Structure 1
Amino acid sequence: MSELFDAVDALLASRAALPPPAERKRLRAAHGLTIDEVATALRVRRATVSGWEAGKTEPRPPERDAYARLLDKLAQLYPAPAGTTAPAQDATVSDTFTAAPAPAERRSRPTGQAPAVAAVSATENTPTHALAAAAPVAASRPAPTTRPSSTSRRPGAKKAAPAGTPAVAVDPRFEHGPLAVVDVEDGQVLAYCTGGLVLDVPAKSIPALVDWTLREAKLGAPKLSGPGKDADPLLVLTEATLERYGLPVALTEEERLAGRLPEGHKVIKQLARAQWKLTKRGFGPWARIYRPATGSERACVQLCIPSWHALDSRHWGAAGQLPPAELARVLGVYASRVMTPRGSTAVTGLELMTALHPPTRASEPDTTGKRRSEHNPGSLGKDPVDCAPCEAPDGHPVLKDLPRFHVRGPEEKLFEEAYDWARPMTDAECTLRHLVGIDVNMAFAAGANGLAVGLGAPTHVKAPVFDPKLPGSWLVDLSHVDLSRVKIAKDKWAELDASLLPSPFTPKGDRPTGPAWYATPTVAYAVELGYDVAPIEAYVRHESGRFLDGWYNRLRDAYLATMADLGVDADLAPADFLAAMDGYKERDPDLAIVVSAIKATVKGGLGKLRERPRGEGWRPGEPWRALSRPTWRPDIRAAVISRTRVNLHRKIVKHAAFTGQYPIAILSDCLVYAADGPSPLDFLPYREGKALPGGFKLGINPGLVKHEGTQSVLWGEGVREQFETPELNLARYIKDGTVTDADNGE
């Protein structure tokens, strides 16, 4: 029986409560301990203990048990000063993200059922902020105190910030957060906000709902840049809410194809009578309802309707099926770390660029004291610019004089795309046992970091001297670049097997055969490899800047913060990183949705820079809607993809020169290598915990790599024999090994 008691004691100890981060630091300092001493005793890195004390991360067993014991002993020796109380349970800033309700609690609740939180009026709540936005709503939360509400039909609650949460200044205009999920429970309309707050909604119609949102709800978010604009409040309407306000739960096929309700719908007529307007996109999955602004007063509300497929399952997973409080949490985390969604993840990615670099700003006062709108330096401006002919996609108006069925070759068309390359395995590789896939984290975001891009229109130049600092498109012959001998450092060359390497100059990895158009990073890489270049002509942009730096930083920070909440920190040793990545999505499926949405924001935002016509009755040679945006910039997209592909090839070359190993397949940012073991550590060279300089490094930061999947060499050979394709791209299937006729790459 004593063994059972010991087991129970051990189980209780494994869930021992931890004090908040500030208290952990106080206790350590009170005993005169350094971070290094604690790290040594617990056999972890110094940065790990520092993260625990800063609230960035939380310890996991078995270190957690020992750390809890240490803090408990120190608390006995050094009680908290009089007038302060230590929380009885874990309630740190990090816990507000990671201590999600148990899966059974979270998934068993029907979509229309509210969690155990009290509704409050629009005037009764302490400030919520980015940290509280991620707080889970658990059915076991203690009941809040209530008091009568002047604007609520039910008693309201004043929700206290979690213990250990630092005070953050909150704009009083938006104290209830950036958004709300509006649902109906027992006949009452409720708005589930971020941080667990629930508001009573008195509105009886969509026009009244919009009016209530702007006058009473205190929803929205401050601007991300000085000259920018505040984010409009976002309302997410559940199916029950749609029925309550006379909207269809689902669009008809005709409405779905049109992307909107017909103009004669009764709700649209209600809005018109109330003098509300809709944007040109009408009342669709992401509707914007507004009145013309008067001065600086905001008068716009955005609607998101999940049952109309506003939240694409490819990027948002099952978010559209979550209960209201959980959906508010998911969208709230995304809104606080990226921005309030403005549409699809692609649309939001593009809007984020503009929000961080608004096209205009207020000038200095003139002699009369008035300010005017002027160009904001470093932005793309408010007017679109024409692309160069080589940068234009087929059908663009600049190409209208080309013969109808003319096919442009590389000497006429800039074709900077991600890799889709594979080769047969060598005899030596066939003797190995495993195929191991690695994937570059946020590869395209990393490609945008620090990249100088053109800000204005292109200038055509004949026989230019190549300048790697000048953004543009260059017609140049790179067929002379020989990958069997390349420069890998100053005065250091490497001999390689060029037959096992993809060319860095084409997406399919083929060696170029003559002149072709390339973006600046591609041509600069040819020079870096040790070869001269002589451009024939170019379209260059003399006005340039690092337009995407703020965009990259925002998305990087959002990604790293959310992955840290899922237990994957940026300072983990290689083996610890691989272990932390194993099953990270199951630790908090809701936050895993946020990670997916952040990644989609990167790729989609860059894709929008060259958006093609969609369902507009368009004909080749005619302009389409996207061309009217200053952010329609195919040259910027090409430069980012070019730099991303070059970054990948540089690491491949460094790895091959050092190890003699070559990839057998590459798909975008995923590579497959043959190895004796199933882990990336079985072929990535590490020496005393340090990766090969300039090569692949395991880690969660953008540009570093993670394990994508492992299959057997026999599997790879079998798949290629099955489809009778020796060069089938195995990187497409390495994650789970599933191959179908529909996606065999043919």
Structure 2
Amino acid sequence: MTDQGHPTLFESTLCEFVKAAIDRDLPAPRTFPEVHPREIREGAGYLAREFAEALMVTPATIRNWEKGVRGQGPEWRAYCHLLHHLENRGNPEPATAAAPAHPPAGIPAPRTALPSPAVPAPATPPQTSPPLWSEPAAPAVPRHTALPRGHIGSVAVLSAATGGFTVHLPDGRSGPCPVTGPEDLPHLAARLGLSPWTAETNSSKGPHRRIPPVLALTASATAALGLPPTCHGPHQDTAAEILDRIGRDGAGRTVGAWSHLGLPNSVGLRLLILPWTPAARALAELPTPTDTARMLGEYTRLVMPPAAPPGYCGIDLMGLMRPELAANSFQDPFLGFPGPARTGVRLWARTPSSRELKRDCVVVALRTTLPFANAASSDTRLPSAQPRHFNNPAFDRKRAGRWLVDLSGFPHDERLPFPFTVDGRPSAGPDWYPTAAVAYAAQRLEVRPIEGWLCPDGGKPYLVAWYERLRDAQIAVLDRTGVSTEHRRDAAPEPARMLADLLRMREHADPVDLALLDAIAVTEAEAVLEPVEGEPGWAAYAREELLARAASNLHRKLLITSRATLLFPLAVTPQLVLYSAPSPDVFHVIARERLKDAPASFSLGARPGGVQPAGHAALADYADLLACLRPDDPAAPALLNSLFTVPGTR
């Protein structure tokens, strides 16, 4: 505290600073900062979500305050004090004392000392030890990648060289690590000061689970520890034997890149063996350990710790953002039933017409950015209690559950996929559909449900916080690349400029940022497209609702585009749309001047719901590929997606 009784950010976490200000119920400062509040926050490396979590308000409240709306109450006054101290952090007052030599464990010393008075020594002075870390001579990490101090100790990367092992932290620090073999790994969390990660949410309901710290092994560390280069094929038994010997939970199960090492009276340690992850997947090893540590640290800050494969992280994040959802113990009444609520096109494709082949067209690929997060709006509801069975229920778009209804009468153009089935073919009669699918059908068809498994109280929009987390993570990375994240069409850049920004990002952006964009996209997509073992009962409802709403959004855009341009897609997956066009120019499909009266059509952009060009191919090559694809093959959509993948659009 200063001598005026004001709190200071000196070596404290954001939450601690705010708590101190609220507890003392300080009056608001007499003057408001001269610099724009958003510039102060971003200059300090914080997200609006992090301010909201610390102040226990919503991110929307923070955005309103930054727009000039004045608040009231202790949260508003704490916000004003926070801005003042962040604004003046580079101009300490002359009468302030120096920072103590030993900051709390797991919290790095700030680059610039903040104003702080002399404080009395604690009753029990902290134990001192030789410094383990070496500060980089010239930090290459931009200021926006600086991690919140409360999360700095949740992830680390271990590499090896001739001189021994080295640990790398996300903030650029590195130091020697006393490791002699795999048996030392379970104890590294305590030795290095790695701390568990706890999700900070605005909700006070449900359990707040702690996630163990994550230690990632590079290829060099994996080899130096005597671990095999892969965990598959002939190396599988060796990998399992070594990990089981050092305390892997679930001994006897199939071994993978992620393992949990447990210790008595400890949350344990999550081990991520980077060479064992597929090279084409997200969260893979980058060229240098420093970049890998930065990438994993930023993923922890923006999303959550990479303590499991991306798909499971995506499901886990839904519960972490809304603990009351994770506390739900109801079971899916359709477990064991053959194919309930089959909806959302997984792969639909058509053969090129003779006219398209004669015109020597090319295939132009458009990739949708975070389509499932974009679908998680306030209208997407999940059951908040065990669903109950109803006969002949009246359809209510605000009621979570599944409906037995006949949608075969939905108006359909055979040149477009039918939006309510997995293969894009029209349904033949009644089937079970989630609420989002029936709501879209009800816009063009009178629906009469026959049965329903429905939530008694209608359900709740649990997934909004999940969407906001992924959206804010995406925007935070894009802001560093210079790509516009403006979502309003009247304020968004012209299509030509947006395309130039996207192409420049792919060529010149920091590889860490491109890897982060890929990791965010894979986390979102695999959470919905790939069910994981042991997932909670509500996950099936979440998956079906998001698939159905994303399919409805995509079908609406396909329909509007076809009416405006007379173009029809060649193939459609949840993330990819292929068109035939005279040239690779994406503006054959996205022409703002022709679609200006169709605001729900495709638009270029890297925000959730926008589309980005994902490459092109010869039409003849597509026809050859189509002959090999089977729409009923679960791997077919992934194969098609892999052919049109560029950095930052996975």
TM over 0.5: yes
Query: 1:469 aligns to what?
Result: 398
Query: 1:301 aligns to what?
Result: 269
Query: 1:217 aligns to what?
Result: 193
CA distance in 2, matches of 1:213, 1:479: 57
How far has the Cα of 1:205 moved from its partner? 5.7
Residue type of the partner of 1:223? A
Indicate the SS of the match to 1:475: strand
Superposed CA deviations along residues 671-694 of structure 1, whole A, max 9, x for unmatched, are 223334432222324139957311
Query: 2:524 aligns to what?
Result: 602
Superposed CA deviations along residues 538-565 of structure 1, whole A, max 9, x for unmatched, are 1112341122211121112222322343
Task: Identify the match of residue 437 of structure 1 among 347, 365, 374.
Answer: 365
Residue type of the partner of 2:332? C
User: Is 2:110 the counterpart of 1:182?
Assistant: no
Query: 1:539 aligns to what?
Result: 453
How far has the Cα of 1:263 moved from its partner? 7.8
Residue type of the partner of 1:214? A
How far has the Cα of 1:204 moved from its partner? 4.9
Contact 1:711–1:734 (Cα < 8 Å) also in 2: no
After superposition, the Cα gap between the structure-2 partners of 1:342 and 1:501, relative to the gap in structure 1 and judged at 3 Å, is same
CA distance in 2, matches of 1:557, 1:190: 32
Where does the alignment leave 5 or more consecutive residues of structure 1 unmatched? 1-33, 36-46, 57-82, 86-119, 130-148, 269-276, 359-375, 400-407, 484-497, 613-625, 739-746
User: Is 2:126 the counterpart of 1:126?
Assistant: no
After superposition, the Cα gap between the structure-2 partners of 1:607 and 1:718, relative to the gap in structure 1 and judged at 3 Å, is closer
Query: 1:145 aligns to what?
Result: none
How far has the Cα of 1:656 moved from its partner? 2.6
Query: 2:604 aligns to what?
Result: 698
CA distance in 2, matches of 1:436, 1:169: 39
Indicate the SS of the match to 1:693: coil
Contact 1:696–1:704 (Cα < 8 Å) also in 2: yes
Contact 2:45–2:145 (Cα < 8 Å) also in 1: no
Superposed CA deviations along residues 367-402 of structure 1, whole A, max 9, x for unmatched, are xxxxxxxxx3xx14253x32233xx3xxx3xx5xxx
CA distance in 2, matches of 1:387, 1:261: 36
Where does the alignment leave 5 or more consecutive residues of structure 2 unmatched? 1-34, 47-88, 92-102, 113-126, 487-492, 646-650
After superposition, the Cα gap between the structure-2 partners of 1:473 and 1:590, relative to the gap in structure 1 and judged at 3 Å, is same
Task: Identify the match of residue 328 of structure 1 among 281, 288, 293.
Answer: 293
Superposed CA deviations along residues 701-741 of structure 1, whole A, max 9, x for unmatched, are 11111112334556656777x7799xx99997698689xxx
After superposition, the Cα gap between the structure-2 partners of 1:581 and 1:203, relative to the gap in structure 1 and judged at 3 Å, is same
Query: 1:499 aligns to what?
Result: 414
How far has the Cα of 1:207 moved from its partner? 5.9
Query: 1:356 aligns to what?
Result: 321
Stretch moving more, 152-161 or 585-594:
152-161
Residue type of the partner of 2:524? V
CA distance in 2, matches of 1:212, 1:731: 37
How far has the Cα of 1:328 moved from its partner? 0.9
Stretch moving more, 589-598 or 206-215:
206-215
CA distance in 2, matches of 1:598, 1:337: 9
Contact 2:369–2:521 (Cα < 8 Å) also in 1: no
User: Is 2:264 the counterpart of 1:256?
Assistant: no
The size of the alignment, in residue pairs, is 525
CA distance in 2, matches of 1:216, 1:471: 46
CA distance in 2, matches of 1:501, 1:444: 20
User: Is 2:234 the counterpart of 1:234?
Assistant: no
Contact 1:454–1:636 (Cα < 8 Å) also in 2: no
CA distance in 2, matches of 1:542, 1:128: 54
Residue type of the partner of 2:443? E
After superposition, the Cα gap between the structure-2 partners of 1:604 and 1:280, relative to the gap in structure 1 and judged at 3 Å, is farther
Contact 1:214–1:299 (Cα < 8 Å) also in 2: no
Query: 2:332 aligns to what?
Result: 387
Residue type of the partner of 2:519? A
Residue type of the partner of 1:328? A
Matches within 5 A, 1:629-648: 629-631=535-537, 633-648=539-554
Residue type of the partner of 1:542? P
How far has the Cα of 1:198 moved from its partner? 1.0
CA distance in 2, matches of 1:166, 1:668: 32
How far has the Cα of 1:346 moved from its partner? 1.4
CA distance in 2, matches of 1:582, 1:185: 37
TM-score relative to the length of structure 1? 0.61
How far has the Cα of 1:155 moved from its partner? 8.4
Task: Identify the match of residue 313 of structure 1 among 279, 294, 317.
Answer: 279
CA distance in 1, matches of 2:503, 2:383: 41
* Identity among equivalent pairs (%): 24
After superposition, the Cα gap between the structure-2 partners of 1:578 and 1:50, relative to the gap in structure 1 and judged at 3 Å, is farther
CA distance in 2, matches of 1:682, 1:607: 30
After superposition, the Cα gap between the structure-2 partners of 1:537 and 1:153, relative to the gap in structure 1 and judged at 3 Å, is closer
After superposition, the Cα gap between the structure-2 partners of 1:679 and 1:735, relative to the gap in structure 1 and judged at 3 Å, is farther
After superposition, the Cα gap between the structure-2 partners of 1:677 and 1:464, relative to the gap in structure 1 and judged at 3 Å, is same
Matches within 5 A, 1:353-432: 353-358=318-323, 376=324, 379-381=325-327, 383=329, 385-389=330-334, 392=335, 396=336, 399=337, 413-425=340-352, 429=356, 432=359
Residue type of the partner of 1:527? A
How far has the Cα of 1:665 moved from its partner? 2.4
Matches within 5 A, 1:439-458: 439-450=367-378, 451-458=380-387
Contact 1:125–1:158 (Cα < 8 Å) also in 2: no
User: Is 2:205 the counterpart of 1:290?
Assistant: no
CA distance in 2, matches of 1:202, 1:171: 25
Contact 2:387–2:401 (Cα < 8 Å) also in 1: yes
User: Highest CA radius of gyration, 1 or 2?
Assistant: 1
Query: 1:339 aligns to what?
Result: 304
How far has the Cα of 1:700 moved from its partner? 1.0
Residue type of the partner of 1:710? H
After superposition, the Cα gap between the structure-2 partners of 1:281 and 1:548, relative to the gap in structure 1 and judged at 3 Å, is farther
How far has the Cα of 1:208 moved from its partner? 5.2
Contact 2:320–2:326 (Cα < 8 Å) also in 1: no
Contact 2:196–2:267 (Cα < 8 Å) also in 1: no
After superposition, the Cα gap between the structure-2 partners of 1:456 and 1:669, relative to the gap in structure 1 and judged at 3 Å, is same
Residue type of the partner of 1:540? L
CA distance in 2, matches of 1:504, 1:449: 19
After superposition, the Cα gap between the structure-2 partners of 1:212 and 1:638, relative to the gap in structure 1 and judged at 3 Å, is closer
How far has the Cα of 1:193 moved from its partner? 0.6
Query: 2:562 aligns to what?
Result: 656
Residue type of the partner of 2:313? T
Contact 1:124–1:158 (Cα < 8 Å) also in 2: no
Task: Identify the match of residue 590 of structure 2 among 678, 684, 707.
Answer: 684
After superposition, the Cα gap between the structure-2 partners of 1:585 and 1:687, relative to the gap in structure 1 and judged at 3 Å, is closer
Indicate the SS of the match to 1:454: coil
How far has the Cα of 1:421 moved from its partner? 1.7
Superposed CA deviations along residues 79-128 of structure 1, whole A, max 9, x for unmatched, are xxxx989xxxxxxxxxxxxxxxxxxxxxxxxxxxxxxxxxx997894259
Contact 1:665–1:731 (Cα < 8 Å) also in 2: no
CA distance in 1, matches of 2:297, 2:90: 31
Indicate the SS of the match to 2:241: coil
Contact 1:125–1:159 (Cα < 8 Å) also in 2: no
Residue type of the partner of 1:466? F
Indicate the SS of the match to 1:469: coil
Residue type of the partner of 2:502? M
Contact 1:152–1:200 (Cα < 8 Å) also in 2: no
Superposed CA deviations along residues 289-319 of structure 1, whole A, max 9, x for unmatched, are 33454xxxx5422221223x1x3323237x3
Residue type of the partner of 1:442? L
Indicate the SS of the match to 2:555: helix
CA distance in 1, matches of 2:427, 2:466: 33
Query: 1:192 aligns to what?
Result: 168
Contact 2:565–2:594 (Cα < 8 Å) also in 1: no
Query: 1:482 aligns to what?
Result: 411
Indicate the SS of the match to 1:528: coil
CA distance in 2, matches of 1:586, 1:418: 32
Indicate the SS of the match to 2:261: strand
Contact 1:666–1:731 (Cα < 8 Å) also in 2: no
CA distance in 1, matches of 2:340, 2:586: 38
After superposition, the Cα gap between the structure-2 partners of 1:248 and 1:435, relative to the gap in structure 1 and judged at 3 Å, is closer
